[in-house]
Amino acid sequence: MKTRYTAALLAALLMGTSHVQAQFQRPDDAVKYRQGALFVMGQHFGRVGAMASGRVPFDAQVAQQNMDVVMAISVLPWAGFGPETQGINSRAKPNVWTDRAAFDEAGRNALTALATLNEATRTGNLEALRRTFGEAAATCKACHDNFRN
């Protein structure tokens, strides 16, 4: 319980108050930035997923190194969804901007689940990694299903 609360709190804080907040010259840059960040995150999340599914052998250290990247990048994409990017052609659905509270909640859910996965990865326990990876992937999918074409 304590762990979950900490992860949720962390997620809420990270989304709003990142000290590495990007500044964009042009709205197009914000779109490229969020797409690039989500792409890099997905690549490293996918490497952890390959271990969770057994496609590649489990190596706790490699899993942790990939999660370190995921955690560092995971705070970045949100700044790229600013109001100036509404209407720019991308796969983002209009409800990112018209239903902002729900979008923010979906993002926080993902960050919370990633923090939980990160903690599980640190234990070196493959079963815990499998379970929490599945939960994290479900939060990614929920946001994609609702907010991405």
Distance CA 35, CA 65 (A): 22
Q: Which of residues 109-138 bind ligand ASC (CB under 6 A)?
A: 137
Q: Which of 14, 37, 92, 140 binds ligand ASC (CB under 6 A)?
A: 140
Judged by beta carbon, residue 45 or residue 78, the one nearer ligand ASC is 45
Contact 94, 138 (CB under 8 A): no
Q: Which stretch binds ligand ASC (CB under 6 A): 28-36, 42-50, 66-74, 83-91?
A: 42-50
Judged by beta carbon, residue 24 or residue 58, the one nearer ligand ASC is 58
Task: Please report how close the Cβ of residue 110 comes to ligand ASC at its closest, in angstroms.
Answer: 9
Q: Total binding residues for ligand ASC by CB under 6 A? A: 7
To 10 degrees, the CA torsion angle through 108, 131, 53, 51?
Answer: 80
DSSP assignment of 86-102: TTSSSSB-THHHHTHHH
Backbone angles phi, psi at 148, to 5 degrees: -130, 135
Which residue type occupies 56?
A: V
Q: Which residues bind ligand ASC (CB under 6 A)?
A: 42, 45-46, 49, 137, 140-141
